[in-house]
Amino acid sequence: MVPNPPAESPGNRWSDLDRPPLNAMSLRRALVRRGAAPAAPAAPAESAATLWTSLEVVQSVGSTNTELVSRARAGDAQPGTVLLAEEQRSGRGRLDRGWSAPARSGIFCSVLLAPAAPVERWGWLPLLAGVAVATALARAAGVDTALKWPNDVLVEIDGEERKIGGILAESVDTERVVLGFGLNVSLRAEELPVDRAGSLALAGARGTDRDPLVRAVLRALADWYARWDHAHGDPAASGMQEAYAAGCATLGRRVRAELPGDESLTGEAVALDGDGRLVLASGDGVQRPIGAGDIVHLRAAD
């Protein structure tokens, strides 16, 4: 982890004037509350003012999730901690996939949460984060997004679905969980790691200043998390199940689920069940809930 910024010099990857650093002091003033943590889950109306207890921006880190999990287990991070990095050298997505991007080109963020909701409902947290990110980007960047189950954020670029973000939840223990998200903000076409990737800039965002985007996402995340936790993780009572279904591009599509153990299942994604699992209907009408796996959206020709 690199806590201090390298020198700004010509040719240095940190010296791109189109990619200014995050303003940690301004973000703390806007997002971090003062005082001790509340004893009970905050009511939804209080969430933006009460959830985040500290915020740190580091220059470079292997993975914000790995770093924050390590800090939490060592007793060096409290619930409500926000960790942001200007660069991730070993960012991780689901199934241990890598996630890389140029310095200051995206938002790389992890937060530490201690849900009152029971552990068996924590599977909704990546879906909750997806709804929060989509809500925030629509407001702050003017970009329409869609969610690919379970943890991808999509935009449309030149008529094609492109992934601009991913979400990963990792348990610290039975009481705490780290929720991380990465978003491509200013990546140019030649910087994309794969052809199915995209960025807010390429999707026509009205701005790529990361500070207002971070504020918008963390406020939306605090709001949705408070609704969900206040309802003890009930996805219906909190409105989470309905909100995710409304923004999910996977539902109603023909998909292929690549499951653990080299199993593959093709069918129509027809619903989300109460545990956040994707329900697939095969050609013979049999419905099967999928709790883990890689989902591929299929075209009609496929």
* Domain around 293: 254-297
Q: Do the domain assignments include residue 167?
A: yes
Same domain (yes/no): 29, 93: yes
Q: Do the domain assignments include residue 219?
A: yes
Query: At 297, is the pLDDT very low, low, confident or very high (cuts 50, 70, 90)?
Result: very high
Same domain (yes/no): 243, 263: no
User: 257 forms bridges with which residues in the sheet?
Assistant: 265, 295
Query: At 91, is the pLDDT very low, low, confident or very high (cuts 50, 70, 90)?
Result: low
181-221 pLDDT, tens digit per residue, is 999 999 999 999 888 999 999 999 999 999 999 999 999 99
Same domain (yes/no): 59, 194: yes
User: 290 forms bridges with which residues in the sheet?
Assistant: 278
Question: Whole-number mean pLDDT of the chain?
Answer: 89
Number of domains the chain contains: 2
**Can you give the pLDDT at residue 144?**
94
Q: Do the domain assignments include residue 32?
A: yes
Alpha-carbon span 140 to 207, nearest angstrom: 8
Chain-centroid distance of CA 176 in Å reads 17
Same domain (yes/no): 202, 140: yes
**Can you give the pLDDT at residue 3?**
53
Report whether pLDDT(238) > 50. yes
Same domain (yes/no): 259, 223: no
User: What CATH number is attached to the domain comprising 52?
Assistant: 3.30.930.10
Q: Do the domain assignments include residue 265?
A: yes
Query: At 1, is the pLDDT very low, low, confident or very high (cuts 50, 70, 90)?
Result: low
Same domain (yes/no): 243, 265: no
Query: At 299, is the pLDDT very low, low, confident or very high (cuts 50, 70, 90)?
Result: confident
111-155 pLDDT, tens digit per residue, is 999 999 999 999 999 999 999 999 999 999 999 999 999 999 999
Report whether pLDDT(13) > 80. no
Same domain (yes/no): 83, 202: yes
